[in-house]
Structure 1
Amino acid sequence: MANVIWVLVNCNSLKEAKSIGRACLKARLASCFDIFKRELTQYFWPPRSGKTESARGALLILETLPAQLPRLRRLVKKLHTDKLPFIGSIKIDVESAFASWVKGELK
């Protein structure tokens, strides 16, 4: 088994998710991406106000390796429309052959 990282990014629209995903592929910071339409997200905003906001949008999942994560985060922050975007990561155990494919697609 080998480690691949899923990077999860909450985006404000499908268009934004596609744009960020394509930029990450073009920069060879991700081997692929998936987008899931969100029906609802609800969160406190502004911070510490006790008020909540609701939105729709999309969840972008990017596949990469741990070594690419810092550069990928910087690119996502640069392109994202939020001042404080959610960018999280999860380590995934995958077959060695799949991890080799991911590695081969990255710079």
Structure 2
Amino acid sequence: MADTLLVLTNLPDRDSADAMAAALIEARLAACVNVLAPCTSVYRWQGAVESATEVPLLIKTTAGRYHALEAAIRARHPYELPEIVAVPVVLGLPGYLDWVAREVTTDA
């Protein structure tokens, strides 16, 4: 289970979020990507407080695929500095976590 990661990122709109999700699944970098409802993000950027509507993605992958996943997100992401945060999954339904691992193998 320690190998499973939940990776979070945000995109500026639904079209770019859907395209990112499809690309990550097609490349077997993610087993599942949840494209969530738009939210408002408030943050400080270059000394100013900003507010933006964004579409969050919840990406399920493994630690072994993380670096390739990060590179793919960075290559497709429109932001200068995208949020890419990985959280280890410490517990979960074993069958689901096994499925995640199988889906992101490069030899499948």
1:81 to 71, 78, 82: 78
Q: Which residue of 1 is the match for residue 40 of structure 2?
A: 40
Per-residue deviation, residues 51-93 of structure 1 (Å, max 9, x unmatched):
1111101100110011010100000000000010000011112
Which runs of 5 or more structure 1 residues have no equivalent in the other structure? none
Q: Which residue of 1 is the match for residue 55 of structure 2?
A: 58
1:96 deviates by 2.3
- 1:40 maps to amino acid: T
Q: Which residue of 1 is the match for residue 95 of structure 2?
A: 97
Query: By percentage of residues, which structure has more strand?
Result: 1
1:103 deviates by 1.4
Per-residue deviation, residues 36-65 of structure 1 (Å, max 9, x unmatched):
12331111122xx2x111110110011001
TM-score, normalization by structure 1: 0.89
In the alignment, is the contact (CA less than 8 A) between 2:39 and 2:56 conserved in 1?
A: no
Which runs of 5 or more structure 2 residues have no equivalent in the other structure? none
> Runs of 4 or more off by more than 4 Å in structure 1?
none
